[in-house]
A and B are shown apart, each in its own frame.
Chain A
Amino acid sequence: MSLFKKEISRRSALKGASAFAGSAIAAPLVFSKGAWAQEFLNDPGDSPTVTLGFNVPQTGAYADEGADELRAYELAVKHINGEGDGGMINTMTPTSLGGNGLLGKRVEYVTGDTQTSADEARSSARRMIERDGVIMFSGGSSSSVAIAQQSLAQDMGVIFMNGLTHSNDTTGKDRRRYGFRHFFNAYMSGLALGPVLADQIGTERRAYHLTADYTWGWTQEESIVNTTEGLGWETVETVRTPLGAGDFSQYITPVLNSGADVLVLNHYGRDMVNSLTQAVQFGLRDREANGQNFEVVVPLYSRLMAQGAGENIAGILGTTNWHWTLSDPGSQAFVASFGQEYGFPPSQAAHTCYCQALLYANAVEMAGTFYPPEVIRALEDFEFDGMGNGPTLYRGGDHQCFKDVLVVQGNPDPTSQFDLLQVVQEVPREQVTYPVDFFEGELGPYEVS
């Protein structure tokens, strides 16, 4: 059976075995920077290629998002290898990327299916690390999956670049030295959304929260409650709804007579599509309460969700990491090359994954080595621009990116099938930055093994 790559599997099996046997006696030699000869897992060594792993949901509810992420990764690999039009490599500043692969090695990649499950994601990631010998892996679409992979990354000593994950915990309580997040988080959503909400729907409001009953939902609810109460809003009730409830009517009818005049939906994906569709169906948006128009707010938005909810999203406020209509050169370059390649604009998930791949590649070039601790140091406190969202800081203390956050609303009058969201405001980075010790967490050591 030469159907499968024999050499690779044998090589990495041996490598895994030697890593296991030699973990106790690995005595790293210390050299000065630029002449690293440390032993580390999956060192590409003299090989002419280097392998990256892209672990995205290919089955399950987030499969479309995963497919978009995979497209973005493929594009990023092309650009790193110097194929295509180069995309954001041309707009990114500062950049050490020259379109000649990574440290002169051609980039190859393997893919996997997380099935949006922590167990399967770790399985898939371990296959990439143990068999395919990846030097970095990346992917996303759910916070628990991201957190699970991030802690695996720390245990194995292979860098993980988070894709779409919005929970505060990813770079808060569960932050890891080997995990990095470009995407924004629930707390930043709250900080960005607050002033716009005050501006657009007032400070005399009574909010009712429906929250997906798991960790991401809770962190988002907490963040939004904090900001809105800071504005002078009152929180009438926070109700937890089971994940995948389908029909939310039994949670929506109590809103009608609760005296609330804002409904906050802390749901994502299918839950958000369903709860929003049904809330609109129950006439919430046509109602008046306390002498004001009833409003619905969806703190985390994505274009795919907007597609699923159809015309119900018109005018509904929320935040998003990035949107393809942004006019800065970085976004334009990315939209152009993605659009040319696939025939439609990228989603925010695609954007964050593309950026993560380039940022990792750039850090490798800056460090001049694949040795993870050095790559991590290059990424930490890296300040860059030209990748959408304005000047951005990869904060070293918690591995969270700080950049402008978009407040968007559903477009009531789209001019094309992709024109579903319109940007209300680009909230500047200063406004969404919070102190590094705001969430408690430990990154852990640079050196593992």
Chain B
Amino acid sequence: MMITRSPRHDMMMIGVFALVVLTMPIWLAPFGAAYPDLLQKFVIFGIMAVGYNILFGLTGYLSFGHAAFLGVGSYSAVWMFKLFTMNVIPAVIIGTLMAGVFAVVIGYVCLRRSGIYFSILTLALAQMCYNLAYSVLTPITNGETGLQIRPTDPRIIDAMFLEPTERVPTTTLFGIDMTGYGGFYFCAVALIITFFISVRIFRSPFGLKLRAIKSNQNRLNYTGINTRPYLLIAFVISGMYAGLAGSLLAVTDPLAGAERMQWTASGEIVLMTILGGAGTLFGPILGAWIIKYFENIFSAFNDGRLHEIFSFLPDTLESIAVGISAQFVGEGWHLTLGLMFMLIVIFLPGGLIEGFNRIVARLRPGQARRRAPAVEEKEAS
């Protein structure tokens, strides 16, 4: 079943992936999505999904608490900006490490159980983080308003080298502004590196063990392998991915709020992963892109825009078309999202990647069996 892919094939795949990510500002333009904020969100939540996939896709452990790591990463990063320097490097490193520390603690506790119990444990711990961050921990998190950067912050390192200004400083990478396209390319590089790491993990003996846990943990235990250390490592790695994503959110937009730790935020990550295809390499990233696209583009449609789109129709038909489609965009975009989940889970349990593979298999009968993505992705899941 498990075929070792040649390293050359993997490098080629990563090369293509890097090209696709770095050219996003060009090929997303026709879709109305080529602006810095959404591009940044695409790559950051791509990282998040890649990390989540290492845990859920490989081991099958369904965590409902990953948003907590995202939040921890953001808060740590903003505190680094406030206390030391607006340079993003320390913030990203500390954000990732702090999330790692949290993941060790939470993972150690939660991995004592499996299945739905594990899910509920992660959910409960993450909700505790969220509720406390929102209220009693306000001195650290600035509660509902969110942690912001102020002109009066100490910024010890910056204060030594730079003239103080009246304005709120922006995040930089040695002088390059990180809030616009610069931030996108910074995050894109991070996504490519983390994707590379994830491919290595998928192909490694360690990855194989994780998959063995998913298929039959008992058998593994009977053969004398203690699975918990492997699970914990996978949990911590995916927690650190989430922390990295969180700190990158703070890099591109230096404000950290408690709501990114809520269980619905964790749920969104689960949805992204399953929507694209859990356990496949590209699936979760694809899922993240689609959900973020919906959230940002569909929610912005209003009646005026709809009338524009359907203006080629005769008047009566136009108003009918607008009336119907208005239920699904703008304030109704949640409905579209819900329907999409249902349809995909019902008809494409392997996520969009499976749908893609089916199409490929149909177009290339016989051939698809031996080579091409179909086999690769199946074997990966």
In angstroms, Cα B237 to Cα A182, docked, is 48
**Shortest Cβ distance from B26 into A: residue:** A13
A127 to B145, Cβ gap below 8 A?
no
A59 to B331, Cβ gap below 8 A?
yes
> Is A366 part of the binding interface, using a Cβ–Cβ cutoff of 8 Å?
no
Partner of B330, one of A113, A120, A123, A169: A113
> Is A33 part of the binding interface, using a Cβ–Cβ cutoff of 8 Å?
no
Min CB gap A189→B, angstroms: 18
> Is B201 part of the binding interface, using a Cβ–Cβ cutoff of 8 Å?
no
B37 to A444, Cβ gap below 8 A?
no
**Shortest Cβ distance from A2 into B: residue:** B30
Known: A117-B259, A147-B145, A155-B170. A127 touches B35 (CB 8 A): yes
Chain B binding surface SS class: helix
Interface string of A421-449 (1 = CB under 8 A from B): 00000000000000000000010110010
B37 to A442, Cβ gap below 8 A?
no
In angstroms, Cα B36 to Cα A123, docked, is 10
A240 to B333, Cβ gap below 8 A?
no
In angstroms, Cα B131 to Cα A240, docked, is 13
**Shortest Cβ distance from B179 into A: residue:** A155
**Shortest Cβ distance from A213 into B: residue:** B135
Q: A19, A109, A117 — which one has the most chain B CB atoms within 10 A of its CB?
A: A117
Comparing B76-84, B217-225, B226-234, B296-304, the segment that makes contact with chain A is: B296-304
Min CB gap B279→A, angstroms: 28
Q: Which residues of A contact B299 (CB under 8 A)?
A: 58-59, 112-113, 124
Partner of A23, one of B35, B151, B177, B249: B177
Comparing A3-11, A86-94, A321-329, A383-391, the segment that makes contact with chain B is: A3-11
Q: Which residues of B contact A13 (CB under 8 A)?
A: 25, 29, 34-35
Q: Which residues of A contact B255 (CB under 8 A)?
A: 118, 122, 148, 151
A4 to B31, Cβ gap below 8 A?
yes
Partner of A112, one of B33, B151, B300: B300
Q: Which residues of A contact B152 (CB under 8 A)?
A: 442
In angstroms, Cα B331 to Cα A112, docked, is 9
Chain B contact-residue range equals 35 or more
Q: B35, B38, B138, B304 — which one has the most chain A CB atoms within 10 A of its CB?
A: B35
Min CB gap B74→A, angstroms: 9
B151 to A444, Cβ gap below 8 A?
yes
Q: Which residues of B contact A4 (CB under 8 A)?
A: 30-32, 297
Min CB gap A212→B, angstroms: 9
B300 to A240, Cβ gap below 8 A?
no
Q: Which residues of B contact A122 (CB under 8 A)?
A: 37, 253, 255
**Shortest Cβ distance from B166 into A: residue:** A445
Known: A9-B32, A127-B300, A214-B143. A118 touches B259 (CB 8 A): yes
A123 to B37, Cβ gap below 8 A?
yes
In angstroms, Cα B34 to Cα A143, docked, is 30
Chain A binding surface SS class: helix
Min CB gap B30→A, angstroms: 5
> Is A201 part of the binding interface, using a Cβ–Cβ cutoff of 8 Å?
no
Q: Which residues of B contact A242 (CB under 8 A)?
A: 131, 135
Q: Which residues of A contact B25 (CB under 8 A)?
A: 13
Q: Which residues of A contact B167 (CB under 8 A)?
A: 444-445, 448
> Is B295 part of the binding interface, using a Cβ–Cβ cutoff of 8 Å?
yes
A144 to B34, Cβ gap below 8 A?
no
A117 to B257, Cβ gap below 8 A?
yes
> Is B214 part of the binding interface, using a Cβ–Cβ cutoff of 8 Å?
no
Known: A4-B30, A124-B300, A148-B255. A169 touches B145 (CB 8 A): yes
In angstroms, Cα B131 to Cα A155, docked, is 29
> Is A215 part of the binding interface, using a Cβ–Cβ cutoff of 8 Å?
yes
Known: A155-B179, A214-B143, A240-B135. A144 touches B257 (CB 8 A): yes
B331 to A123, Cβ gap below 8 A?
no
Q: B131, B180, B181, B300 — which one has the most chain A CB atoms within 10 A of its CB?
A: B300
> Is A239 part of the binding interface, using a Cβ–Cβ cutoff of 8 Å?
no
Known: A113-B299, A124-B300, A215-B145. A67 touches B32 (CB 8 A): no
B134 to A243, Cβ gap below 8 A?
yes
Min CB gap A304→B, angstroms: 16
In angstroms, Cα B279 to Cα A137, docked, is 42
A126 to B37, Cβ gap below 8 A?
yes
A6 to B30, Cβ gap below 8 A?
yes
Interface string of A383-413 (1 = CB under 8 A from B): 0000000000000000000000000000000
Known: A9-B32, A19-B180. A111 touches B330 (CB 8 A): yes
Q: A3, A131, A143, A444 — which one has the most chain B CB atoms within 10 A of its CB?
A: A131
Partner of B302, one of A5, A111, A148, A240: A111
> Is B144 part of the binding interface, using a Cβ–Cβ cutoff of 8 Å?
yes
Q: Which residues of B contact A148 (CB under 8 A)?
A: 145-146, 255, 257
Q: Which residues of A contact B60 (CB under 8 A)?
A: none
Within 8 A of B (CB), among A85-126: 109-113, 117-120, 122-124, 126
Min CB gap A3→B, angstroms: 6
Q: Which residues of B contact A59 (CB under 8 A)?
A: 299, 331, 333-334
In angstroms, Cα B25 to Cα A19, docked, is 16
> Is B41 part of the binding interface, using a Cβ–Cβ cutoff of 8 Å?
yes
Sample of 25 A–B contacts (CB below 8 Å)? A4-B32, A10-B29, A13-B34, A19-B180, A20-B177, A20-B182, A58-B331, A59-B333, A59-B334, A111-B302, A118-B259, A123-B37, A123-B41, A123-B295, A124-B296, A126-B35, A127-B300, A130-B35, A131-B34, A143-B145, A155-B179, A174-B145, A243-B144, A444-B167, A444-B168
Question: Contacts A147-B145, A148-B145, A214-B134 given; 15 further ones with Cβ under 8 A?
Answer: A4-B297, A10-B29, A20-B180, A112-B300, A113-B299, A118-B146, A122-B255, A123-B38, A123-B296, A127-B35, A127-B38, A148-B257, A154-B168, A243-B134, A442-B152
Going nearest first, the 4 A-B pairs with the smallest beta carbon separation are A4-B32, A126-B37, A214-B144, A58-B331
Chain A residues proximal to chain B, CB less than 8 Å? 1-6, 9-10, 12-13, 16-17, 19-20, 23, 58-59, 63, 66-67, 70, 109-113, 117-120, 122-124, 126-127, 130-131, 143-144, 147-148, 151-152, 154-155, 169, 174, 213-216, 240, 242-243, 442, 444-445, 448
